[in-house]
Structure 1
Amino acid sequence: MISICIIVKNEEKLLNLCLKHLIPLNYEIVVVDTGSTDGTKDVAINYTDKVYDYPWNQDFSAARNFAISKASNDYIFMIDSDEILASCDKKELETYIQRYPDGIGRVMIISEYYRDNEKYSVKNQVSRIFSKKKYCYQGRIHEQVVPIEGEIATIYDAPIRIYHRGYDGDLETRRKKTERNISLLKKELEDKGDDPYILYQLGKSYYMQEDYFASCEVFSKALYFDLDPNLEYVQDMVESYGYALLNSQQYETAMQLLGVYDEFAVNADFLYLMGLIYMNNAMFTEAIGEFIKASQMKVYKMDGVNSYRAYYNIGVVYECLGLVDKAIKYYKKCGNYSLAVKRLNTLVYD
């Protein structure tokens, strides 16, 4: 029923763990190598006999569509080599496919990474399950699943959780990875003109490089388009723009997000961001209000924005205002969050 497809290049260190976790599903695995010079293909051959070469042509969609063409089954499960299958309810997945044969299944991608010795965990739903007769990939980079003809029938959340390792690593590692992406995205814009989704991905690439001014410039350009605030990438772009403004110390400019507050205050992530924006503009009462709102929201992407991260920042505000008892109260609500524990140790025990 299902074929798992992967495109790879020089991923011998990551591919083994990826494939190892897929084997228990007992689905066909198709691996397409786009020019590896290490032992990637040797790793792949240990798990599947369906290993193919594809000459790299600067087009991820073309490579993915080639992999799909080599699949024996009608339904495709696309995964990347820097991802590890955490869980999959196989019976339920196949039930969903039978119920929505023309639909697209989204899987939960959990990205875990460290910045400044602090762990972050962010979850997103990404389209990865579909019929090869109905859908294909489009876009040179950060490709999207699109209908071969007509429109998307149904989108459902598949019972699959995946851990993504691609955001981790030091700044130099991330810069090397995103330089290629930036080059391809710029080429896509040159060929097809300004497109908000491609601009969004370009802005995210600059953000990964910590080039926040360039990121802000690109995000700002994309946000001039008439965009649907219900689209996940639009929500993420607005939030990423806000963080890029904060990280580049453009605090007053960040206050402009108040103009889209009603459209985007639908999850804890945006409310938490607004709390940080108010906080950096010394509007402490408003900041506390946003952090409290965030703590009451059930919908979130980044771990902690509706709990310990929100409480921690309330504690910081109260501590800055000299209200130590209130600060301690909120630091204690953070559990084992290391930054809060550090402040508690200073305030209570020093």
Structure 2
Amino acid sequence: MDGRQVAPVLSATLIVRDEAAVLPRCLASIRDLVDEIVVVDTGSADDSRRIAADFGARVFEFPWRDDFAAARNAALEHARGRWILYIDADEAIVPTSHDTLAGHLLDPGLVACTVRFRPRTGFTRYQECRLFRNDPRIRFRNVIHETMLPDIENVKHADGLRMGHSALAVDHFGYDGNQDAKHRRNVPLLRDRLARDSDHVYSWNHLGQALAGLGDMDGALNAWWRAVEVVRARGVQSALDRLPYGSLLLHPGAAAEAPRLLPEALECFADDHLFRWLHGRRLADAGQLAEAIPLFERLAAIDAELHCDDQGIAYDARIFGVFSYEALGLCHFRLERYEDSARYYALADRVDPGNPVHRLKHRLATSRLSRGA
């Protein structure tokens, strides 16, 4: 922020509670990008309020009432900018300049913009709406998984506006540490949400993730299966309906169901890269190496750093790198294509140098190649 006295163009709004450990990183990333920072504290016992004030934020208090939308809307009420950037304390903007957004913020035809959002370290990005006009008609709803998208859509259609897509990149690093406190907070909120909307697949999947994080594996599996049953009963309504399938397919507790569940997932979500990778693994395990190789090659051709999904799906970036390189190295080795095998194991070693197995397999493939020559 540069202290200009003119009306601010861009206000960053945050809700915080005991975020002293992460808040400085977030605020440092946005202070030169936005014109004001509005922080609503929902009951911190640590130094969150002082830290926010030290960064020049306007700090307000709002008693926590188990309602994320209410807290976010309180922050909106205090924002003076013509545009809102909503961000969380455990997120940070990738270094950029105000010019990155200038064209969007000055465009009278835009109601909102997406950013390139990375939901967790080591995953790919997807487009997420985080920038929108400061309009009293746009407010958050839902106590958890709060969203302002329905209001944005209403304003867009009422005023003849459009959605933009910015190059601004936001990284979420909140999953890098212990999540127990968040899981314990979220479980009752999710159960309450599902009591009112039992078909909300995303909440069932989130509940499963939270329960798994707290060690309740039976509860997690039940939540994910409940989500899948909802999709089966009503059909696919959102790209996010794939999430519980992925949760189950990656969990050892559902291994017995995987042979049946993966074909179903591929039929419903044929464009999903995780399911394609799992399908390739299954083909390779069954000895269908020639069929598996093209699947892994297509995945390896995707640049994980540039990939940005337009349906809100993030992938473990290793699917497009070391995981596919390893699989290709193995497939070619079994087909006695040792030159190709050595090449892919070398690529795996390059992107994952801490794993000595890649180097050993590269040497083995090279040895077999030399022996054949």
Name the residue aligned to 2:318.
Answer: 304
Establish whether residue 110 from structure 1 lines up as the match of residue 110 from structure 2.
no
Closer, same or farther: CA 258–100 of 1 in aligned 2, 3 Å: farther
Name the residue aligned to 1:117.
Answer: none
Unaligned runs of 5+ in 2: 1-8, 157-161, 310-314, 368-373
Unaligned runs of 5+ in 1: 114-119
Name the residue aligned to 1:242.
Answer: 249
Name the residue aligned to 1:116.
Answer: none
Alpha-carbon deviations, 1:302-338, whole Å to 9, x = none? 323223321112334566x595835434212322323
Higher relative contact order (CA 8 A, sep 6+): 2
Closer, same or farther: CA 254–178 of 1 in aligned 2, 3 Å: farther
Q: How does 1:1-350 map to 2 (within 5 A)?
A: 1-99=9-107, 101=109, 103-113=111-121, 120-133=122-135, 134-148=137-151, 151=154, 153=156, 154-169=162-177, 173-209=178-214, 213-223=218-228, 224-225=230-231, 226-228=234-236, 231-244=238-251, 247-248=252-253, 250-278=255-283, 282=286, 284-285=288-289, 286-297=291-302, 301-316=315-330, 321=334, 323=336, 325=338, 327-334=341-348, 335-338=350-353, 341-345=356-360, 348=363
Closer, same or farther: CA 252–201 of 1 in aligned 2, 3 Å: closer
Provide TM-score, normalisation by structure 1: 0.83
What is the CA–CA distance in structure 1 between the aligned matches of 2:270 and 2:152, rounded to whole Å? 35
CA root-mean-square deviation: 3.0
Alpha-carbon deviations, 1:178-216, whole Å to 9, x = none? 121112100111234432232232233335456555434
Q: Deviation of residue 69 (structure 1)?
A: 0.7
Q: Deviation of residue 18 (structure 1)?
A: 1.0
Alpha-carbon deviations, 1:257-297, whole Å to 9, x = none? 21342442325333223334555x64553544432332245
Higher percent of residues as strand? 1
Q: Deviation of residue 254 (structure 1)?
A: 4.7
What is the CA–CA distance in structure 2 between the aligned matches of 1:41 and 1:152, rounded to whole Å? 34
Alpha-carbon deviations, 1:148-171, whole Å to 9, x = none? 4863634332221122111112xx
What is the CA–CA distance in structure 1 between the aligned matches of 2:227 and 2:108, rounded to whole Å? 33
Q: Deviation of residue 102 (structure 1)?
A: 5.0
Larger mean CA deviation between 52-61 and 122-131 belongs to 122-131
Q: Deviation of residue 255 (structure 1)?
A: 3.8
Name the residue aligned to 2:6.
Answer: none
Closer, same or farther: CA 49–308 of 1 in aligned 2, 3 Å: closer
What is the CA–CA distance in structure 1 between the aligned matches of 2:91 and 2:317, rounded to whole Å? 19
**Identity percentage of aligned residues:** 23
Q: Deviation of residue 140 (structure 1)?
A: 1.0
